[in-house]
Structure 1
Amino acid sequence: MEIGGAALCAAWAPDGERFAVGLASKDTAVCHYEPQVTAWVASKVGKSKAAITALAWHQSSQYLATGSTDRHLRVYDVTVTEEGHGPGFNALQVTEDASAWVNAIAFSRSNVLAFACQDATVRFKSLAGGPDAAVEVVRWKSLPFLDLAFVGRNEAPTASPLMKLGDSEALPRTSEHTNTITGCRALSDGRFSTSSLDGTVLVWELSA
């Protein structure tokens, strides 16, 4: 895929049929494979005023959330059919003022949308309440989070802060990273993993 700026983030759709790329050129590309031309084809989605720094797919693979340094989170309809793009493709479904640039986004299975911002907040919006539902803001007293995931049977949110995980007694700990935590991923067995600039990947288990 030829692009006019740096790719800052990328994410596969849960169904494995498409992937999205967030670009420094303010664009988001949703890519699908075209067997007739044996190539991946990109479709532009959304409109942002600044670089795209975070992406997350809804578990249905029909909606894509984008976060930007323009301090906004947006959710777009990216539904496709056997004939091509659905009738609502590229329609803006949700937009939220994040008050700072968006570092990470996650959808829960129960349709809660969470996004972590550079002002050290994590914001939660229940999509069951519609696009105008209120946003709950949780403020962190340290450095901002860089990644976000819902984990465990009850889908408790966990995040990767720009700090050593062991610095906070409020977070589960089995060991410590010694440098910035850059990512966290939910695992299928209810545990989650974190990766760090210290060159390690740790696997965590939530206490009962």
Structure 2
Amino acid sequence: MTERFILAAALSAALFAWPAWACSPVPMPPPLPGESQQAYKARIAEEQRRQAERWLRNRQTDALQRADTIFIARETVWPPPSRPQARAHRGGAPRPPARIKSVSFVDPPPAYFKPIDWFRGPRTRASFRIERSMTTCGVMSVGDTSLSTPSNLYVFFARKGPLSEKTLIDAIAADRIDDPALVAFVARHRGMPPAARR
């Protein structure tokens, strides 16, 4: 029974890009008559692989159609340089930094990304920030960036407007991109050390 639940959770995670959906296990089909446990596991693993490929293909197709801006960005280890804090009128004390929202879980620190190459849309070199939230489903963020680490590359898809979580449509790890429209664009950045990805 435990193995069946683990397989269900894995299939559900493969089916959905957004972590909130990955919390809801997908019911597993029953074993076929006379099917061994090993054959059942192999069949389910193959179905998970096919479902994951279909979902990734659909994500890329949808994002390509909806995005006004498509670019590659690398996660950086430092936030953008801070700006001097605005002072209150008439020489008052500096304003305190914005407070982090109170949640029942401790949220992981935000991630910062620096654009390095563009496929479509206006170009900017300004780093941008993506918040991460800890939920009962695990860490949630934009697309594949939920568990990103410094130097990882992502293809971001965004609507018109300044880059922010409000305009981002999706973020797919560069090494997962396989849509023919994007393969050549991403290929020149794959396998390159971070220092060369500029």
TM-score of the alignment, normalized to the shorter chain, above 0.5: no
Bigger radius of gyration: 2
TM-score, normalization by structure 2: 0.25
The higher relative CO (CA closer than 8 Å, separation ≥ 6) is in 2
Which one has the bigger helix percentage? Answer: 2
TM-score w.r.t. length of structure 1: 0.24
